[in-house]
Structure 1
Amino acid sequence: MNFSVVVPIYNEQDNIDELYQAIVGALDGFDPNYEIIMVDDGSTDGSFGALQRLAGKDARLKVIRLRRNFGQTAAMSAGFDAATGGIIIPMDGDLQNDPADIPRLVAKLEEGYDVVSGWRHDRKDTFITRKIPSLLANALISSFTGVHLHDYGCTLKAYRREVLEGINLYGEMHRFVPALASQVGARVAELQVSHHPRRHGSSKYGISRTLRVILDLMTVKFLLAYSTKPIQLFGRWGVYTFLAGLASGTATVYMKLFEHVSMNRNPLLILTAFLLFMGIQFIVMGLLGELNARTYFESQSKPIYVVRERINVGTGN
């Protein structure tokens, strides 16, 4: 397969037929060597029946049914695992992403990029509950990860298969794949794509998702910067905290000797004990993190580097 289109589905029975026809219409004339993988993420309506009916008519459509609603990230991960295409293209199942943009994403990918992320430039969503939180989240994610995209939340993207093979997804981390891919040297581009208003069903997203995104962003930042060197993070804070404790202790002793302030009545004594204890705790956490990092990489014989290509000197290969 050249392409695998991965679509998580959750209670989208009224959109499935139209979405399938749109994908087929966009790709049949572009490259017929593709597959569609639709993952039913525990739908409680008639979505699975609609998918089952379509799969009986078209062998290119694969349907995966999860036992319950695991969330969009898990559904997408299941689709990625089942995909056989050299290029993998995830998209939403609500008809807001336009399959007609897929050839443009692939063309951009073939310019030498490993990831092409869609940008819903003219987004058809509510301003207060969707656009404003998204704008703030995108700015925050770009700042934290160093990968500057206008629209991390757009599901429509194109990935080279090898980029996704080393990435495991948890929580709400599907939106951070471009940043995680950049960690291993992937070249990331962004392309404006169409966005349509939802015509059937109701949105599964809300402002409550913002907190989960922020928490996952902390995880991504740690993975990008310190996954192989946690002592550099925890050890640094441990040293700073320990030095602050020593400074507080010195001030406590000075006040006792020269200002005759009783140590047991001086709150700086408690602060000194707290800071010294926390400094030691931070350093110990860093050392334990180093042990875990070594266990993670060495138990899997997993290198801490990724090779883009090799050239055999003298052969030109």
Structure 2
Amino acid sequence: MSNSLSSHSPEISLNLPLLGPDISVVVPIYNEVESIPRLIDAIADSLKDTNLSYELICVDDGSTDGSVELLREKVAITPHLRAIFLRRNYGQTPAMSAGFNHARGRIIITLDGDLQNDPADIPMLLAKLDEGYDLVSGWRKKRQDAALTRLLPSKIANWLIGKITGVKIHDYGCSLKAYRSELVADMHLYGELHRFLPALAFIEGARITELPVRHHARQYGKSKYGLGRTFRVVLDLLTVFFMKKFLTRPMHVFGFLGILAILAGLFLGFYLTFVKLAFGENIGDRPLLILSVVLLLTGVQLFSIGLLGELLMRTYHESQGRPIYRVREAIEHKEK
């Protein structure tokens, strides 16, 4: 199916099935009662000229400011709107995961509910996705946030994430992204991994690009982010790094470290034995003896963790029917 925008918008041809909406727009909501009416209207305006069917999924993450009541009212009068109400405030990653699980479109768009992302950029992301990419990430090139508390930590985090994961894009934190639904189905979100979605997509073999998008200063409410999340970002980054390198082979890291520790402990043990037998020296009060024992015990523990990791990895993949590879395309010769 081929659809096109008006003359001022890029052409879009998503080749989507006839069943279900073409696009699912997923928006996590947490205390954004002032922004919701304008957000709904802005998304509708951005997609009205595309001739693509869409659904707007607002996932309320335990709001306490009247967002729940307003969403109920809007759902009753807005055909494309669906609302999902979580039982409490779980965080942006679970809210986004809930939106993914309820999305029915072949293309999934995500953006924040605070109107700092501009819904008018959605057609541009769709057109870029149609060039053959699996994920198009927004880049807030001219970001309208506080320099010290938001911009500087973000630049450092983006550089660090790019170095460690190997996925070098300018703005991991931008929520405005476009995904193919089959890619989202392969990614399982836990903790606070929503900011690492490009890296998780790369693990699944996705083709990724980014586009500069508009960014506006917050007009209503207050930001839910601060410097306090920096420590959590570092821990999540270590998780993503391990998943990228050793998800299907944990023994390669734990077993290797365990063998190194065991060999070091044995070397020190043989050395102390030689000193004792050859020179008759007392080794009972030497720190090296304690170090040798600690290294041997640590090595055995690391090796055991590697074995357990291998068993858990197999249980993880086999219980969910998840293959350890992803096929992009398969072709065969066809007789004329």
1:34 pairs with one of 35, 54, 64: 54
Q: Does 1:4 align with 2:41?
A: no
| Stretch of structure 1 that moved more, 70-79 or 300-309 | 300-309
Matches within 5 A, 1:263-302: 263-302=283-322
Stretches of structure 2 that go unaligned for 5 or more consecutive residues are 1-20
How big is the alpha-carbon RMSD for the aligned residues of Structure 1 and Structure 2?
1.4
Count of aligned positions: 316
Q: How does 1:42-53 map to 2 (within 5 A)?
A: 42-53=62-73
In structure 2, the partner of 1:224 is 244
The aligned residue for residue 127 of structure 1 is 147
1:23 aligns with 2:37: no
The amino acid across from 1:21 in the alignment is D
Deviation, structure 1 residue 219: 1.3
Asked whether the equivalents of residues 158 and 172 of structure 2 are also in contact (C-alpha less than 8 Å), the reply is yes
Alpha-carbon distance, 1:315 to partner? 4.7
Q: Secondary structure at the match of 1:283?
A: helix
Label 1:242 to 1:313 Cα distance change in 2 as closer, same or farther (>3 A): same
Equivalent residue, structure 2, for 1:312: 332
Structure 1 equivalent of residue 120 of structure 2: 100
Deviations for 1:237-270, whole angstroms, at most 9, x for unmatched residues?
0111112212222332344355654111211000
**After the TM superposition, which residues 106-145 of structure 1 pair with which residues of structure 2 at under 5 Å, given as runs?**
106-145=126-165
Q: TM-score, normalised by structure 2?
A: 0.91
1:298 deviation in Å?
2.1
Give the letter aligned to residue 260 of structure 2: Y
Provide Cα deviations, 1:247-300, integer angstroms capped at 9, x if missing partner: 222332344355654111211000000001111111111011111111122233
Output the CA distance in 2 between the equivalents of 1:311 and 1:194.
40
Aligned identity (percent) is 54
SS at structure 1 position matched to 2:178: strand
For 1:301 and 1:60, how far apart are their aligned partners in 2?
33
SS in 2 for 1:63: strand
Aligned partners of 1:38 and 1:63 also within 8 Å: yes
User: Aligned pair in 2 of structure 1 residues 131, 315: CA closer, same or farther (>3 Å)?
Assistant: farther
The answer to whether the 8 A contact 1:38-1:62 is kept is: yes
Matched-pair contact (CA < 8 Å) for 1:89–1:159: yes
The answer to whether the Cα contact below 8 Å between 1:26 and 1:99 also exists between their aligned partners in 2 is yes
Matched, 1:184 2:227: no
Which of 214, 227, 244 is the equivalent residue of 2:234? 214
- By how many angstroms is 1:174 displaced? 1.0
- Residue 84 of structure 2: SS of its match in structure 1? strand
Relative to the length of structure 1, the TM-score reads 0.96
Q: Residue type of the partner of 2:272?
A: T
Kept in 1, the 8 Å contact 2:186–2:204? The answer is no
Deviation at 1:139, TM superposition (A): 1.2
Q: Does 1:59 align with 2:82?
A: no
Deviation at 1:210, TM superposition (A): 1.2
Tell me the secondary structure at the aligned position of residue 168 of structure 2.
coil
Consecutive unaligned residues in structure 1, runs of 5 or more: none
